[in-house]
Structure 1
Amino acid sequence: MAYQFKGLYITEEQGEFKANLTELSTADLPNNEVLIKVAFSSVNYKDVLSASGNKGVTQKFPHVPGIDAAGEVVSSRSNKFKTGDKVIVTGYDLGMNTWGGFGEYISVPSGWVLSLPEPLSLLDAMALGTAGLTAGLSIYELINSGVTPEKGKIAVSGATGGVGSISVAILSKLGYEVVAISGKKQNDFLTRTLGANAVFTRQDFIDKYDKDIMSKMELAGGIDAVGGRILSGMLKATNYNGTVTCCGLVASPNIETTIYPFIIRNVTLVGIDSVEQPLNHKEAIWKLLANEWKPTVLSHITKLINLEELPAALYDVSQGNAIGRYVVSHG
């Protein structure tokens, strides 16, 4: 049985890409194992790239973006899921070349699907989404490498964005002293809402920590979501045996540094990818996010929008104007 549904439909016409809210059919979806009615999705920078026709993200058009989805199983050919199960899908090929969460239905392989961990709601799952998973994976690496709260300060870049804001909120909840770095003047949001202990502008952080070959050791570690000189400065200022994670490139995909942090201070740089993580590791992180790591301020950093408001939200994210998380409701 085919269902009609609405979605943000991206078409290519003579090299130009257009986004329209369009009536679609589940008959147009791939014939995968699990059909899901999407309740919520979220807006990520990769969705901006897909919606604007970036062929490094999406090669096949027309297309429905949305790399995150949470909803209920409509039908399943897998014995792992049954009709009515509440589930999450993030990453893999969803929203890239497989129609994604900006449509009211998705059809995906069972190996992409996770049961919604209790006591998380579908809305909160998408308030976290790929950004929350990436933040969780980053924090997991810090903790797993022995960077505990008593070791010192943690720097977080892109702190008003999705990964950064959730990272700051979780780290603060876990008792870490957090140094937030942002290109926006949002000190009250960073300190009062998220719980950061100190705030740097990007330029102030660069001026303090990336001017010389090495900096004074002032950080136990860092979570970098922007790349470039911010990442370089984090590495130079990290304590002996510290760890820095990197997951983004909104400032730059390049890093100009030396090997000194690695060979003199034994600093570890860990790359974070949330897309192709093994499902069992994703599941472990999601259980932490649903329970002891769940930010107490999650509702305060989330803006709920509908499909009609989605193009404006995508534009905000593309211009670097978004603060916190946009969640798309299909209700």
Structure 2
Amino acid sequence: MSDLPSSVRALLADASGPESRLELRSLPTADLGDGDVVVAVSWSSVNYKDGLASRKDGKVARIDPLVPGIDLAGTVVDPGSSALATGQRVLVHGYDLGVAHHGGYAEYARVPADWVVPLPDGLSERQAMTLGTAGFTAALSVVALEEHGLTPGAGPVLVTGASGGVGSVAVSVLAGRGYEVTAVTGKAEAADWLRSLGAADVVDRSALDVSRPLQRETWAGAVDCVGGETLAAVLASLRYGAAVAASGNTGGVAVPTTVFPFILRGVNLLGIDSVRCPIERRRAVWARLAADLRPASLEDLATDEVPLEEVPGALARILDGGARGRTLVRVS
């Protein structure tokens, strides 16, 4: 700890006034929060949850002020009493990071040792954040579907919210594993990019039928990043015994469906949570993201890169629905 600066450069969300403020400040190192391990942060990323955490009305931040950033990658500078080594490359995401504990938008982070994932061989820190929380969530979704029995020869797989972080990684991972992927997006201008990631077909989200609880059996599986009526439409059009891995709620938290897809077609709704995922599974899935789950178009998933100074604008874009793919944050 003696080699650490007395203060670090950080982007703080301050909700103490009538309106939220996002400001670059000098944060005392002693105020980084509790934890065993200190990481020099090199990269983070922009997620929808970060946008909510930066706003007074986002109902996500549980401390004030807060350094947002629900994921980070960097190098251990103080391993504390953990089994990690000084100089070891690591990544951290989930748990309370960027919500109730200062996150990745600062030059250093202090975190509990059991939140830390050693960076797998074959992934740089930048690539790890190209994946980030979104990529991990996408990988968890694919793993859950395959554990349920989905195989590449089973039929087409649907990915909703495909132009977003989770959806775009899911398209690339599934395509790399040999699946026929149909991508759903509300952004017509993203169609060519989604095809470059491996989508066999791209459809507009308005084409999803939400009028009937049961529709033609079409999809052998699905990754839903949207929720709401979109998830209801997916459930209604899954094949008998198929499953959807659901992780998003940008389309709403209420799902207007009936019991029919479940009791007449035996479909399955698989809930995907990346926040409280046990560390053993977390580390195992990250090891696979560097190997058999590595997206075929990893380098194409990062569509923007910003320094800390430009993060407020990037957060505004993702909340407004103007972001595409993954936006990286260059911290140091």
TM-score, normalized by the shorter chain, greater than 0.5: yes
User: 2:61 maps to what in 1?
Assistant: 58
* Structure 1 residue 240, shift from structure 2 partner: 1.1
Structure 2 Cα separation of the partners of residues 13 and 283 of structure 1: 37
Quick one: which amino acid aligns to residue 189 of structure 1?
W
Identity %: 41
SS across alignment from 1:273: coil
Q: Residue 64 of structure 1 contacts residue 103 of structure 1 at CA under 8 Å; is this kept in 2?
A: yes
Task: Give unpaired runs (5+ residues) of structure 2.
Answer: none
User: 2:200 maps to what in 1?
Assistant: 197
1:148-167 CA-partner distances (Å, limit 9, x unpaired): 11111111011000000000
Structure 1 Cα separation of the partners of residues 20 and 171 of structure 2: 36
User: 2:19 maps to what in 1?
Assistant: 16
- Give matches, 1:102-181, under 5 Å: 102-181=105-184
* Structure 1 residue 54, shift from structure 2 partner: 4.1
Once structures 1 and 2 are overlaid, which stretch shifts more, 288-297 or 218-227? 288-297
Structure 2 Cα separation of the partners of residues 277 and 330 of structure 1: 26
User: 1:230 maps to what in 2?
Assistant: 230
Q: Residue 172 of structure 1 contacts residue 178 of structure 1 at CA under 8 Å; is this kept in 2?
A: yes
* Structure 1 residue 113, shift from structure 2 partner: 0.5
1:166-193 CA-partner distances (Å, limit 9, x unpaired): 00011011110111111111211111x2
Residue 90 (structure 1) aligned with residue 93 (structure 2)? yes
Q: Which runs of 4+ in 1 moved over 6 A?
A: none
- Give matches, 1:199-218, under 5 Å: 199-206=202-209, 210-218=210-218
RMSD over equivalenced CA pairs, Å = 1.2
User: 1:312 maps to what in 2?
Assistant: 313
* Structure 1 residue 79, shift from structure 2 partner: 3.3
TM-score relative to the length of structure 1: 0.96
SS across alignment from 1:16: coil
* Structure 1 residue 15, shift from structure 2 partner: 2.6
Quick one: which amino acid aligns to residue 69 of structure 1?
L
Once structures 1 and 2 are overlaid, which stretch shifts more, 279-288 or 56-65? 56-65
- Residues 257 and 31 from structure 1, CA distance in 2 versus in 1: closer, same or farther, beyond 3 angstroms? closer
SS across alignment from 1:9: strand
Aligned residues: 327
SS across alignment from 2:134: helix
Structure 1 Cα separation of the partners of residues 222 and 233 of structure 2: 10
* Structure 1 residue 5, shift from structure 2 partner: 1.9
SS across alignment from 1:24: strand
Structure 1 Cα separation of the partners of residues 219 and 296 of structure 2: 25
* Structure 1 residue 295, shift from structure 2 partner: 1.4
Structure 1 Cα separation of the partners of residues 114 and 213 of structure 2: 46
Residue 322 (structure 1) aligned with residue 326 (structure 2)? no
Structure 2 Cα separation of the partners of residues 78 and 246 of structure 1: 37
* Structure 1 residue 228, shift from structure 2 partner: 1.2
SS across alignment from 1:310: helix
Structure 1 Cα separation of the partners of residues 258 and 66 of structure 2: 42
SS across alignment from 1:250: coil
1:121-154 CA-partner distances (Å, limit 9, x unpaired): 1100000000001000000011111111111111
Quick one: which amino acid aligns to residue 319 of structure 1?
D
* Structure 1 residue 276, shift from structure 2 partner: 0.4
* Structure 1 residue 78, shift from structure 2 partner: 2.5
Quick one: which amino acid aligns to residue 243 of structure 1?
A
Quick one: which amino acid aligns to residue 126 of structure 1?
M
SS across alignment from 2:250: coil
Quick one: which amino acid aligns to residue 133 of structure 2?
T
SS across alignment from 2:275: coil
Once structures 1 and 2 are overlaid, which stretch shifts more, 242-251 or 294-303? 294-303
* Structure 1 residue 195, shift from structure 2 partner: 1.1
